[in-house]
Structure 1
Amino acid sequence: MSKKNVDDYLTEGMYGTRLPKDHERKQFLGTLRERIVLALTKGQVMSDKGLAQLEEAMKEHPKATLLINGDVSHRFLKEEKHLANKYHITYSTVTNEEVETDIGAVLTYDYAIDKEDIFIQTDPIQSEKQEEQNDKQSSTLSKIKKWFRS
């Protein structure tokens, strides 16, 4: 272990003590990956695609805590909060203006559980169809734009 120099003391004084795995804490709403039961992206939270998996995880882990991204509008979080209340799971909203993350909600413990798959696997066929539909819409839109430019 190396000795601290003046710069280390100044940095610690200005920004606080460095936390281990700080990048993970920023990405996963203040918790570590090894503590997570289930993580939902913002898109999954806003479209309610992960509700069934979230409910199942809440049934299996009644002592867990739900962390919700404060950047997601409250109107999209009604179902998640309802599930948390239904299964008596505490939840809190985490807002960090300095960090941009794609995570919308996290079901977590305050100790490590080391779960392998924390993300919901989307159906590849459904994802492929969605991409094709987006491509068709964008190509149609580009054709219409070309008509008006001419």
Structure 2
Amino acid sequence: MKENVEEYLDRGLQGTPELRRAERQEYLTVFRERIILALSDKQVRNARIYEPIVKEMKHYSKAHLYVDGELNYTYLSKYVKLAQGMGVPITIVNDVSTHTDIGLVLAVDYAIDKSEILIDDEKFQRGLK
């Protein structure tokens, strides 16, 4: 009984414990195993749309786009417009308490455990539209 009271008080003071908080902060609130593809801030700032994002939005009908609200909307707008045109829901993440180099995450609400979610710059340059 005493443990239940202490647990109740801890939750009241500190809130409900979060699962893998650091991982969720890194990937714009998304668990890594749910990510289809992620782009760095630098890649999002590129003037052109990264083609695999388009391909994956078409392939995953239940995809959801998360973008880093710390980035200037000028850079995000091309992806936001793309997602809106394809009926993909969008979340602009502004409340990440720690800095992340991830600028965009395309994810689903179930685990897919892709081994490669990040694209290196050489592949990125070849994948531009």
Q: TM-score, normalised by structure 2?
A: 0.83
* Equivalent residue pairs, number: 122
After superposition, where does 1:42-61 map in structure 2 within 5 Å? Answer: 42-48=41-47, 51-61=50-60
Give aligned-pair identity as a percent: 34
Question: 1:49, CA displacement in angstroms?
Answer: 5.6
Say whether the 8 Å CA contact 1:44–1:50 is kept in structure 2: no
Residue 36 of structure 1: how far off its partner (Å): 0.2
Q: Name the larger-Rg structure.
A: 1
Structure of higher RCO (CA pairs closer than 8 Å, 6+ residues apart): 2
Match of 1:115 in 2: 114
Deviations 1:74-128 (A, max 9, x none): 111111012102211111101125221111010011111111100113218x8xx
Relative to the length of structure 1, the TM-score reads 0.72
Q: Deviations over 1:120-143 (max 9, x none)?
A: 13218x8xxxxxxxxxxxxxxxxx
1:82 matches 2:99: no
Q: What displacement does 1:48 show?
A: 4.1
- Please, what is the CA RMSD of the aligned residues? 2.1
Give the structure with the higher percent helix.
Answer: 1
C-alpha separation in 2, matches of 1:16 and 1:49: 42
Checking the alignment, whether the CA contact within 8 Å between 1:62 and 1:87 is kept in structure 2 is: no
Q: Which runs of 4+ in 1 moved over 6 A?
A: none
Shift of 1:22: 1.3
5+ residue gaps, structure 2, are none
CA–CA distance in structure 1, aligned partners of residues 69 and 119 of structure 2: 21
**1:64-103 equivalence runs, <5 A:** 64-96=63-95, 98-103=97-102
Aligned to 1:24: 23
